[in-house]
Amino acid sequence: MIDVDKWQEIFTSIRRHKLRTALTAFGVAWGIFMLVALLGMGQGLQNGIEHDFRDDAINSLWIRAGKTSMPYKGLKEGRNIQFDNSDYDLLRDQFPEIDEISGRFYVSGSQTVTYKDKNMSFSTRGVHPGHQTIENSVMLEGRYILDKDLDAFSKVAVIGKIVRDDLFGKEESLGKQINIGGTIYKVVGVFKDSGGDDEMRNIFIPVTTAQKVYSGGTQLHQLMVSGGNLGLREMQVLESKIHNTLARNKNFDPSDERAVRIFNLAEEFQQIMGLMGAIRGLTWLVGIFSILAGVIGISNIMLIIVKDRTKEIGIRKAIGATPGSIVNMIMQESIFITSVAGYIGLLLGIGLIYAASGVESEYFRNPQVNLGMVIIALLVLIITGTLAGLIPAIQAARINPVEAIKSD
Amino acid sequence: MIQLKAIHKSYQTDYNSLHVLKGIDIDIKEGDFVSIMGSSGSGKSTMLNILGILDKYDEGEYFLDGHLIKNLSQKQEAHYRNHLLGFVFQSFNLLAFKTAKENVALPLYYQKVDRKERQELALEYLDQVGLLDWADHYPNQMSGGQQQRVAIARSLISKPKVILADEPTGALDSKTSEDVMNIFKKVNKQGITVLIVTHEDEISRMTNRVIRLRDGIIESS
Ligand SMILES: Nc1ncnc2c1ncn2[C@@H]1O[C@H](COP(=O)(O)OP(=O)(O)OP(=O)(O)O)[C@@H](O)[C@H]1O
Ligand SMILES: [Mg+2]
Q: What is the mean pLDDT of chain B?
A: 92
Residue B198 and residue B38: Cα distance in Å, rounded?
A: 8
User: Is B145 close to ligand 1, i.e. is its CB under 6 Å away?
Assistant: no
Rounded average pLDDT over A201-215:
92
Indicate whether A41 and A171 sit together in one domain: no
Indicate whether A158 and A134 sit together in one domain: yes
Rounded average pLDDT over B143-155:
94
Indicate whether A255 and A280 sit together in one domain: no
Indicate whether A308 and A250 sit together in one domain: no
Q: Which of A16-20, A24-28, A227-231, B121-125 has the highest mean pLDDT?
A: B121-125
Which among B46, B54, B150 is the top mutation candidate for probing chain A, defined by the most A β-carbons within 10 Å of its own β-carbon? Answer: B54
Rounded average pLDDT over A222-250:
90
Return the percentage of chain A with pLDDT > 90, whole number.
38
Q: Which amino acid is at B91?
A: S
Closest CA to B146 of B78, B221, B92: B92
Closest CA to B36 of B163, B167, B149, B183: B167
Q: Which of A68-72, A195-199, A360-364, B194-198 has the highest mean pLDDT?
A: B194-198
pLDDT in tens, B96-105: 989 999 999 9
Residue B60 belongs to a domain: no
- pLDDT confidence band for A54 (50 / 70 / 90): low
Residue B202 belongs to a domain: yes
Indicate whether A303 and A344 sit together in one domain: yes
Is the CB of A319 less than 8 angstroms away from the CB of B111? no
Residue B84 and residue B108: Cα distance in Å, rounded?
A: 13
Contacts of B147 (CB under 8 A, 6+ apart): B92, B94, B139
**Residues A71 and A77: beta-carbon distance below 8 Å:** yes
User: Is B38 close to ligand 1, i.e. is its CB under 6 Å away?
Assistant: yes
**Among partner residues B54, B79, B83, which is closest to A318 by beta-carbon distance?**
B54
- pLDDT confidence band for A362 (50 / 70 / 90): low
Q: What is the mean pLDDT of chain A?
A: 87
Helix A323-355 × helix A18-53 angle, to 10°: 40
User: Is the pTM here over 0.95, yes or no?
Assistant: no
Q: Residue B187's pLDDT is what?
A: 92
Closest CA to B84 of B153, B2, B4: B2
Number of folded domains that form chain B: 1
Q: Residue A2's pLDDT is what?
A: 57
Residue A211 and residue A142: Cα distance in Å, rounded?
A: 24
| CATH number of the CATH domain containing B170 | 3.40.50.300
Return the percentage of chain A with pLDDT > 70, whole number.
98
pLDDT in tens, A91-141: 999 999 999 999 999 987 767 899 988 889 999 999 999 999 998 899 999
| Distance from the B74 Cα atom to the nearest Cα atom in chain A, whole angstroms | 7
Phi and psi dihedrals of B60, rounded to 5? 100, -170
Indicate whether A170 and A83 sit together in one domain: yes
Residue B15 belongs to a domain: no
Q: Residue A145's pLDDT is what?
A: 95
Output the CA–CA distances (angstroms, integers) from residue A21 to A4, A11, A289, A306, A343, in the order listed: 21, 11, 20, 13, 15
Q: Among residues A232, A266, A300, which one ends one of the domains?
A: A266
Chain A residue closest in CA terms to B118: A5
Taking CA atoms only, the protein residue closest to ligand 1 atom 10 is: B11
Q: Residue A55's pLDDT is what?
A: 65
Q: Residue A190's pLDDT is what?
A: 96
Residue B22 belongs to a domain: no
Q: Which amino acid is at B110?
A: Y
Q: Which amino acid is at B58?
A: D
Q: Which amino acid is at A63?
A: I
**Is pLDDT above 80 for A366?**
no
Indicate whether A360 and A316 sit together in one domain: yes
Q: Which domain holds residue A393?
A: 4-52+270-406
**Is pLDDT above 50 for A388?**
yes
Taking CA atoms only, the protein residue closest to ligand 1 atom 5 is: B11
Q: Among residues A266, A292, A316, which one ends one of the domains?
A: A266
**Under DSSP, is residue A112 helix (H, G, I), strand (E, B) or coil?**
strand
Q: Which residues pair with A298 in a beta bridge?
A: none
**Is pLDDT above 60 for A1?**
no
Indicate whether A253 and A160 sit together in one domain: yes
Residue B172 belongs to a domain: yes
**Residues B14 and B188: beta-carbon distance below 8 Å:** no
User: Is residue A36 within a helix (H) or strand (E), and if so which, with residue range?
Assistant: helix A18-53
Q: Which residues pair with A60 in a beta bridge?
A: A226
Indicate whether A301 and A223 sit together in one domain: no
CB atoms within 10 A of CB A194: 15
**Is pLDDT above 90 for B134?**
yes
Rounded average pLDDT over B28-53:
93
Residue A30 and residue A120: Cα distance in Å, rounded?
A: 56
- Quote the ligand 1 centre to B143 CA distance (angstroms): 28
Q: Residue A9's pLDDT is what?
A: 82
**Is pLDDT above 60 for A49?**
yes
User: Is B9 close to ligand 1, i.e. is its CB under 6 Å away?
Assistant: no
Q: Which residues of A393-404 are buried (b: 16+ CB within 10 A; e: fewer)?
A: bebbbebebbeb
Q: Residue A358's pLDDT is what?
A: 73
Q: Which letter does DSSP use for residue A67 in this model?
A: B
**Is pLDDT above 90 for A176?**
yes
The radius of gyration of chain A's CA atoms, rounded to the nearest angstrom, is 34
**Residues B7 and B23: beta-carbon distance below 8 Å:** yes
Burial tier of A130 (Cβ tally within 10 Å: 0-12, 13-18, 19+): buried
Contacts of A282 (CB under 8 A, 6+ apart): none
Q: Residue B183's pLDDT is what?
A: 92
Q: Which letter does DSSP use for residue A75 in this model?
A: B
Q: Among residues A266, A286, A309, which one ends one of the domains?
A: A266
Helix A323-355 × helix A4-16 angle, to 10°: 70
Q: Which domain holds residue B209?
A: 32-54+77-220
